[in-house]
Structure formats: C-alpha cells, structure tokens
Amino acid sequence: MNQTLILNGLATGELDAIDLTVPPGGIVCLSGPSGSGKSRLLRAVADLDPHDGEVRLDGTPAHSLKANEWRRRVMLVPAESHWWHDTVGEHCGVARESDLTALGFEPDVHRWPVSRLSSGEKQRLALYRALSLDPEALLLDEPTANLDEATRDRVEQWLVKRIHDQGLPALWATHDPSQIARVSDTHYRINGRRLEEASHGTD
C-alpha cells in the first residue's frame, strides 16, 4: 500500500480551506476544543459531508472512485460506534486472532451479541472492525475516549503498530495532549477558522 493522503484546499463548515499531507505510516494529530470542527473535517475527508476542495490517496482523487469504494479505502472510525446486526462477527471481515488478542479479546468475540457490549468494548471493537476490512488510510475520531488508562495504552500501541506496519496514513483527532505527544508525527491545532501546526509535543 504505502500511499499518501493529500488534502487539497479542503473546506468544510466554519474552517478555512486546508492543505495537508499525511505520509504513509504517518500519524497527523488534530486537536482543538470540542465543536471546533475536528469531526466535520474527518467526515469531509471520508466524503460523508458536502465540501469544497479535493482529497487524494496518492494519485487517486476521491471523486474518481465510487463513494463507497473511497470510504472502504479511507475509513472513518467515529467517536461513537454503531452496531446494527445481532452479533459482533456480522459486522467484521475475517477474524484476525492476533488483533483480537492485542486488544484483549478472546477469539470467540465474533459470536458475542452486540447488546452485551460495554461502551469501552464497543470502542475497541469498532477499531478492530474497521481494520478487519483492510482500509488503506485511517481517520480516527477520539479513538480511545471511552477507555481506562491501561486499555488505552494497549489500544494505542496496537493502533500505532498497525499504522506503521501497514504504512497507513492516519488522521487522528484527539484532545489529549499526552496522547498527541506519544503517537503523533505532526500535530495541528484548530484555532478559530484556521488549522495551525503546533510544535511537536506541546499543546
């Protein structure tokens, strides 16, 4: 894979047009107060909201693919996950035991009824579900917000490893400064209508 995610004059909601490049295996963190438009920006990249400007994955602009194929490649994992089938497995691709173990699940989690999941389990399984479909770029919206500290570290390490190993470009929205320091290669902060590059590790 090893593709670059490129935002070219992307404008949505209150934000000014954004130019941004996420290299393969690179993690670009987005921070900003809630309501500043982080989620809307990620939604625009996934082409879920109308927007101006262009998003490309290497040479492939979003509009040259069918929208569902684009979203399959550039996958958004929202802050709150939703589940519509009865069991976990019906939502996921082929079961990958190594991923499940890394996230602290038994392999039989595919048979678990969705109604039994706690919010933390839902969040972890939503990440697992997205990666089980083999995306080529990741858009993560507060991926560890509902997790306790130990689980958060575990999930974080797994995510970073997967992103690096597979060379996925990742846009990672979070408001946690220490998480930004741990995972990000580049950090942008939303300040009013503008996206500003923050010096590494500070917020």
Partner 1 sequence: MELIELQYWQLALASVLVLLLAGCSWWVRLGFGRSLVIAAVRTTIQLSLIGLVLEALFSVGALGWVALMGVAMVILAGREVMMRQRRRLRGGWAFGIGTSAMFVSAFTIAVMTLLIVIRPDPWYQPQYAIPLLGMMLGNTMNGIALSLDRLTDTVWRQREDIEGRLMLGQRWQDAISDIRREAMRSGMIPTINMMAAAGLVSLPGMMTGQILAGSPPALAVKYQILLMFTIAAGTGFGTMLAVTAGSYRLFDHRQRLRTDRITTPTH
Contact residues for partner 1, defined by CB under 8 A: 46-50, 63, 66-69, 71-73, 75-78, 80-84, 91, 129-130, 133
Smallest distance, partner 1 to C-beta of residue 11, A: 16
Whichever of 103 and 180 has its CB closer to partner 1, that residue is 103
Quote helix, strand, coil % in the chain, to nearest 5: 35, 25, 40
Residues contacting residue 202 through CB under 8 Å, at least 6 positions apart: 177
Whichever of 142 and 180 has its CB closer to partner 1, that residue is 142
The 3 state secondary structure assigned to 32-99 is CCCCCCHHHHHHHHCCCCCCEEEEEECCEEHHHCCHHHHHHHEEEECCCCCCCCCECHHHCCCCCHHH
Q: How many residues would you count in the chain?
A: 203
Whichever of 22 and 126 has its CB closer to partner 1, that residue is 126
Smallest distance, partner 1 to C-beta of residue 71, A: 5
Smallest distance, partner 1 to C-beta of residue 84, A: 5
Whichever of 163 and 180 has its CB closer to partner 1, that residue is 163
Smallest distance, partner 1 to C-beta of residue 203, A: 27
